[in-house]
Amino acid sequence: MIRIRSVLALVLALVATVLVSCGSPTAKQPPTYTNAQLEQIQNYVSTLQEMRDRLEEVPTLIVQRRWGDIGSVIHGPLGELRRYLKATVRTLLPQDAQKADVFVEDLFERLVRLDEAAVANNAEQALENYQRAIQDFNNFLELIP
């Protein structure tokens, strides 16, 4: 009788071991975008692309030394830029949102410096900050699915 208990205990231990080793949890699916999220993001992107196109007016204004018009572009047509960028960041997956948020902050820092350079009538600084702002804007848009 003792022998049967020992064999039975050994069999149960083997069965339990096999079940535990074969019953691993299913692999987690990486987070993905829903169709509704993608549609919302594309709506934001179309508006952001229009704003980016408006930003391309700035180099001509710098060359023509139309400093007041530069401020008008930054504060006028691009006045809603932060709202659209932040709304877009909120719809992104967490790993993309972190990267995008850095580009957004850098972009606005560049736009502030561009505006300051325009007020100071400093074409060199204005062009440099414009180029960096465009680069940050492009980097942001590349993160968008």
Per-residue pLDDT of the chain (145 residues; tens, 9 = 90+): 667 777 667 666 766 676 666 665 665 666 787 888 889 889 999 999 999 999 999 999 999 999 999 999 989 888 899 899 999 999 998 888 999 999 999 999 999 999 999 999 999 999 999 999 999 999 999 988 8
Enter the tokens of residue 107: 């972009």
Enter the tokens of residue 75: 């504060």
Q: Which CATH architecture has domain 35-143?
A: Up-down Bundle (1.20)
- Where do the domains of the chain lie? 35-143
Do 70 and 106 meet the contact criterion of CB atoms below 8 Å apart?
A: no
- Give the helix/strand (H/E) hosting 77: none
